[in-house]
A and B are shown apart, each in its own frame.
Chain A
Amino acid sequence: MSTPDEVVAERIIEKLREAGIISETGIKKLYPNLVAGKLKAEDWKFIFETCRADAEDGHASQD
């Protein structure tokens, strides 16, 4: 049975995915740390900066 932290973490990941603000790579980094409560402010920023940079690189290469 999932722990409450795991349940909420899964829901959060699903909503972030729906919102389109995080990549699958970002999700892989985010989920285990979210469940373990190990995310620091710098980690959040790094994940979203990386995701956005990846997304912009992707758009640039498509262009």
Chain B
Amino acid sequence: MPLRISKLTMSGFRGATAPTTIEFDTTKPVVLIFGENGTGKSTIADAFDFICNRSFGSLENYSLGEPAKKHVASLGRSSADVSVTLESGAQKWTARMGKDGPTVNPLAGQPDVRILRRRTILSLIETQPRQRFEALKTFIVVPNIEKCEAALRDAVNATNTSVNDLVRATVQATDELMKLWKAEGAPGASALAWATAEANKDLSQLWANLTLIGSLLQNYQDVETTLTALDLALAEQHTALQALEATQARQQKVEALAVQQTARLLSLLRDAEAYIAARNTLTKCPVCEQDVDARALARRLGERIGEMRDLATMAAATEAAQRQMDSKQIVADKIRREFCQKAGLLAASLKVCLLPEIAALKLDWLRFPALLDPAQPAHVSEQQARAFWAAISRSHQTLEERRIADQKSVHQHNAIAGQIGTLREKQGLAVAQQKLLADLKAALDIVMQQRKDYIEEILTSISTEVQALYSRLHPDERIGRVKFFLKPNAIGSLEFDAQFQDVIRLPPQAYYSESHLDTLGICVFLALTKYFKTDNTVVVLDDVLTSVDGPHLDRFMALLHDQAKQFGQVIVTTHYRPWRDRYRWAKGSVASTQVIELGPWSLESGLQTGEFLTAVDELKMALTTSRFDRQVTASKAGIVLESLLDFITLKYRCAIPRNARNEYTLGDLVGGIDAKLGKELRCRKPTIAGGSKTDVLLKPVFDAATESQWIRNSVGCHFNTVDSEVCDSEVKDFGRAVINLSAHLICDSCKTLPTRRPAGLFWQCKCGQLEVYPLVYPGADLHTVDDEDF
């Protein structure tokens, strides 16, 4: 048995200001909840949404200016008071208001409730293609696949860019090689062949020469540098010598002027002065031991030293000049040795060097024997080093030119090898990336195609199903042929067209009536829900039908009952009384439909649910109640009799006196069943459940009910004295006769009148247990047969 909801309990939720429990008959696949406007139908639908879809239901369709969750609680109640409980057999779920929305315990397993509201129909049918897509996208989008497809497209684009970059790099490397090749005069068969050969050349000798030349040039540099330093040192030494000689000459002149005032004397006098200064009590000369006046002696020493100051100055100058001379000598000697050493190193290198630039010098090594012999005196070595340098210094430039040329060759080789390497590397990478790109493109084509195919399949399937459903509701009306499709090259835009009269591919919104659009929206919803249904799918239609005529309502009810087989349960709310009355007057099967009536809502009491009774059930109750009400019984019996006579006279197109208002009295209807029809009229049904069918002539049953029909007017409708003369038993008999008639015309099993004619020979109830004969008025053309209900 499919999953069916058995109980819904609401407390503090929307219109349920008082705890409300609705029990569902799980033996019946369809539930009709009837209530006039403002009785709480949407509260019930919202409660299903709240607990099964964690949604705020119809509140989410409105612009409230603040979050919908603020209005979930009943007026005067808080979010903490909100409670919705759903039961299905032994399973039970409870939903409460959480911080972020409804929280349901237990988390999983609730029925898969799909709810259609009138506003949703507008979204499905009447809005723009983009809004329609939004309304349907939960059915037709594959969001995760689309994310991956977008990532795959990025991968294709990135790889394509990578391939282009690599191709560009190979072209650039080829161009560079072409330039190098042409610069070399385009030797060989091709640039690539030439470059490959060049890149493969052995550069070891070139590198060795470059290293040697580099070393030699460094030696040249060293010799030149030390020679420059030596020349400078010698010049400075010469200058110092000249200064010494000049100082000595001046000193000799001063000494000649004061032969006695030698430098030694000056020194002796200074010593004596210092000696006396250190001994203030001196009275005798330390040399001759004669008495002396120390003060007078000191004064005299001072006078003599002053006289010898020029001589002292000259002596100091000579000493300084000598020290300078000695210093310059030392420096010059050191640099000389260094120069000779560097020159010796260079000579040793050149002597064994095989470079043509050196050989061209044709050096006579016999001229420089001391250069290669460290034991030779410095001045000899210096002379030969200077001669050697004079012989080779011009070759420095030649070697430098050779080095530049060799370096150019190396650079050329490196450039060629680099370009060849780049070319090969990029070509290899480009091939790999091109293969990857081909795979990615193929994958993208597959992903896109499968996604589109899937959506097209759904839309085609839905279109087909919508057409099937719609044609049942509107047969022979030349409307329908609805086709949904995604607009090419438009994202998120769902189009649809339909037929009107003989013209196809028209926008139905432009041609269909409002009720036709309503039923189209319902068919779209049912088709979608059917396509995506699960084993637990329950359909809720929340007041989706506004006003339709009788035949369309009958077909819609039949369609719902038929579609209910596809789902666990179909729960319908409606304010449309003719729908509810179909069940009241046995035009709809209460055997397969549970009808729940909602009474007036009030803030204190909240939703009011009442027991639904058919008109016959109400009559039976009136007859069996302990406090018998004769007026009510007579009235109800009369109205049931009227409905049964209306049914029969319509079915057989009986002759009834016409009137301007097209309204018929009970007496008119009674007269409609004439003797000719009464002779043929019979029902056929099992006397016990599952037993064989037997015929019952209906004329006596009709007569029993209609012969007392005056009681309806006398007791049930009007004030008159006759009423007082009718006893209760007569009223009860009238009521029982009407119930007996209803028992012959309304099936015990499906509780419906015989409104179908599947065999074309008789009328039959919805379940087929009850048959009523004949099909048409005796002798009438079969083409005059009344329409059958669905």
Q: Which of A6-63 contact B (CB under 8 A)?
A: 7-9, 11-12, 15-16, 19, 21-22, 33-45, 48-49, 51-52
Does the CB pair B443–A44 fall under 8 Å?
Answer: yes
Q: Which of A21, A22, A41 meets B152, CB within 8 Å?
A: A41
Q: Are B148's CB and A21's CB within 8 A?
A: no
A37 with B147: in contact, given A11-B454, A48-B436 (CB under 8 Å)? yes
The total of interchain contacts (Cβ-Cβ below 8 angstroms) comes to: 83
Separation of A52 and B439 alpha carbons in the complex (Å): 9
B143:A12 contact, CB within 8 angstroms? no
CB pair A15–B436 under 8 Å, yes or no, is no
Is there contact, CB below 8 Å, between A45 and B454? no
**Cross-chain contact B439 with A8 (CB below 8 angstroms):** no
Q: Does B729 contact A (CB under 8 A)?
A: no
Instruction: Give the interface size class of chain A.
Output: 20 to 34
- Is A43 within 8 A of B151, CB to CB? yes
Question: What is the CB-to-nearest-CB distance from B432 to chain A, in angstroms, rounded to a whole number?
Answer: 8
How far does the Cβ of A54 sit from chain B's closest Cβ, in whole Å? Answer: 13
Contact B141 A21 (CB under 8 A): no
Report the minimum CB–CB distance from A39 to chain B (whole Å).
4
**Does B451 touch A at the CB level, under 8 Å?**
yes
Residues of A within 8 A of B148 (CB): 33-34, 37-39, 44
Instruction: Tell yes or no: B274 within 8 A of A by CB.
Output: no
Judged by a CB distance under 8 angstroms, whether B534 is at the interface is yes
Q: Which residues of B contact A5 (CB under 8 A)?
A: 142-145
Picked from A4, A39, A48, the residue with its CB within 8 Å of the CB of B151 is A39
Bound together, the chains give a CA A7 to CA B454 distance in angstroms of 9
Q: Are B145 and A37 in contact (CB under 8 A)?
A: yes
Q: Are A48 and B450 in contact (CB under 8 A)?
A: no
Q: How far is the CA of A48 from the CA of B151 in the complex (A)?
A: 14
Q: Which residue on B lies nearest to A43, using beta carbons?
A: B151
Please pick, from A4, A12, A35, A38, the residue contacting B447 in the complex, using a CB distance under 8 A.
A12
Q: B141 near A44 (CB under 8 angstroms)? A: no
User: Are B151's CB and A44's CB within 8 A?
Assistant: yes
B83 at interface by CB-CB < 8 Å: no
**Are B158 and A16 in contact (CB-based, < 8 A)?**
no
- Asked if A1 meets B534 with Cβ closer than 8 Å, knowing A12-B447, A45-B159, the reply is yes
Inter-chain contacts of B446 with A (CB < 8 A): 12, 15-16, 19
Asked whether B517 is an interface residue with its Cβ less than 8 Å from the other chain, the reply is: no
- Can you report 28 residue pairs joining A to B where beta carbons are below 8 Å apart? A5-B142, A5-B143, A8-B450, A8-B454, A9-B145, A11-B453, A15-B446, A15-B450, A16-B443, A21-B443, A33-B148, A35-B144, A36-B144, A38-B148, A39-B148, A39-B152, A41-B151, A41-B152, A42-B155, A44-B155, A45-B155, A45-B158, A48-B436, A48-B440, A48-B443, A49-B436, A51-B439, A52-B435
Closest 10 CB pairs of A and B: A37-B144, A41-B155, A37-B147, A41-B154, A44-B155, A39-B148, A5-B144, A48-B439, A15-B446, A11-B450
Binding site for A on B (CB under 8 A): 140-148, 151-152, 154-155, 158-159, 435-436, 439-440, 442-443, 446-447, 449-451, 453-454, 534-535
